[in-house]
Chains A and B, each alone.
Chain A
Amino acid sequence: MPCKRTLFSLLLSLSFVTAAPAQNYITKNGTISFYSRSTLEDIDAVNNQVVSVLNIQKGDIAFSVLVKGFLFKKALMQEHFNEDYMESDKYQKAIFKGNIADMGKVNFTKSGIYPVMVSGDLTLHGVTRKISTGGTIQVRDSKIAATSEFNIRLADYNISIPKMVEKNISPTIRLTVDCMYEPKN
């Protein structure tokens, strides 16, 4: 009888272990796009190779993206972006490491869209700056999606635009992040 009781307790504890939700969620194919609107032309590019990790217990969130993975509609724009502005051979990655302050508002057992505030360090073109922005966490089945839109000033990251093309590129760029995570077991 004691043996049966021990076995029952063991199975019960095991069932709790397996039913516990994952703390870390990951994607290796998230999306970051950017948009520049200026008087002469609009420029946009997309990167679908974003690595991101989200810890739903601590609210820690990190993104990493290879700069060369941004795709443009025009080859010349992509070439200038990599060689002249982002210097992607030298600064290969853009990285964000931050925290979702109001993670407690998100109910991960109930499907829905939850607005959150994110703050952290964005490293771009070898320059790290603190940023703070709004975003949403969407809970759907066992998956979690995170989205955010925010602006950055190119001058803040030592990205200089030559006078000749300054009317073609906006000094402020709109960034959109869109990631669908899966649990990391």
Chain B
Amino acid sequence: MIFLILMSYGPLVMTKRTKRTIFFSILGVLAIVLTAGIYLYNKGPVCVKCAAGKQVTAVILYQTFAGDSTRAKREYTSQILEVSGIVKQVSQNLQNQAIILIQTNEPGAAVNCTMEGPADKIRKGDTVALKGICTGMDTGAVELGIPGDVYLTRCYLAK
């Protein structure tokens, strides 16, 4: 590009210094582009712990998914949410991550939170606010009368 601009001015006699400046400018731009590319390629997942979450209660979140899934997907899916409510159950998955179920108004259904942060202080019956990424709502097992949960992943205790 720089070369073309220079050429448009007609034949130029470039000094050795000018040539060196152009060479190092191009090298510098390439280095910046390459560094940015490598950074973006290797960039880790979003920091849920440091991000601000959209506040919503577990009851409202569940009701929205159950009643208007299109709106729920638009407003909540893939977003970092801060979901508040009463802890229904605390357990562990096969990776030894804590699973916190937050109560909803639907019997047997919960906001199902897989913890990335510590959860050793969370007990059944506690009122909590958990921050995590909403991945959506599963349908559960309808034939067995088991309602689906709304899922949050990579969760941290916010309050």
Contact status A48-B95, CB under 8 Å: yes
* Chain A, 66-103, CB within 8 A of any chain B CB: 66, 68-69, 71-76, 78, 89, 92-93
Chain B interface size, under 10 / 10 to 19 / 20 to 34 / 35 or more: 20 to 34
- The segment out of B17-25, B118-126, B135-143 that lies at the interface is B135-143
- Tell me whether A62 is interfacial, beta carbon within 8 Å: yes
Q: Would A28 and B149 be within 8 Å (CB), given that A49-B112, A62-B141 are in contact?
A: yes
A46 and B45 alpha carbons, distance in the complex (Å)? 13
Q: Mark B72-104, 1 if CB is under 8 A from A, else 0.
A: 010001100000000000010111010100000
The count of residues in chain A whose C-beta lies closer than 8 Å to any C-beta of chain B is 31
A180 and B94 alpha carbons, distance in the complex (Å)? 7
Q: List B contacts of A46 (CB < 8 A).
A: 95
Distance of B55 from chain A, by nearest CB (Å): 21
Contact status B112-A75, CB under 8 Å: no
Contact status B41-A29, CB under 8 Å: no
Contact status B43-A49, CB under 8 Å: no
Q: List B contacts of A74 (CB < 8 A).
A: 41-45
Q: List B contacts of A53 (CB < 8 A).
A: 141, 144, 146
Contact status B135-A72, CB under 8 Å: no
- Tell me whether B7 is interfacial, beta carbon within 8 Å: no
Q: List A contacts of B73 (CB < 8 A).
A: 89
Option from B46, B146, B151 in Cβ contact (under 8 Å) with A26: B146
A178 and B78 alpha carbons, distance in the complex (Å)? 25
**A contact patch SS:** strand
- Tell me whether B153 is interfacial, beta carbon within 8 Å: yes
* Chain A, 148-168, CB within 8 A of any chain B CB: none
A71 and B44 alpha carbons, distance in the complex (Å)? 11
Q: List B contacts of A24 (CB < 8 A).
A: 144
Q: Closest residue to B154 on the A side, CB-wise?
A: A71
Q: Would A69 and B44 be within 8 Å (CB), given that A29-B112, A93-B138 are in contact?
A: no
Distance of B73 from chain A, by nearest CB (Å): 8
Contact status B94-A66, CB under 8 Å: no
Q: List A contacts of B154 (CB < 8 A).
A: 71
Contact status A71-B153, CB under 8 Å: yes
Q: Closest residue to A46 on the B side, CB-wise?
A: B95
Distance of A54 from chain B, by nearest CB (Å): 10
Contact status B43-A31, CB under 8 Å: no
Distance of B136 from chain A, by nearest CB (Å): 5
Contact status B141-A75, CB under 8 Å: no
Q: Which residues of B contact A (CB under 8 A)?
A: 40-46, 73, 77-78, 91, 93-95, 97, 99, 112, 114, 135-136, 138-141, 144, 146, 148-149, 151, 153-154
Q: List 26 A-B contacts (CB under 8 A).
A: A26-B146, A29-B93, A29-B99, A29-B112, A31-B93, A46-B95, A48-B93, A48-B97, A49-B112, A49-B135, A49-B151, A53-B141, A62-B141, A65-B138, A66-B135, A66-B138, A66-B151, A73-B44, A74-B44, A74-B45, A75-B46, A89-B73, A92-B136, A179-B94, A180-B94, A184-B146
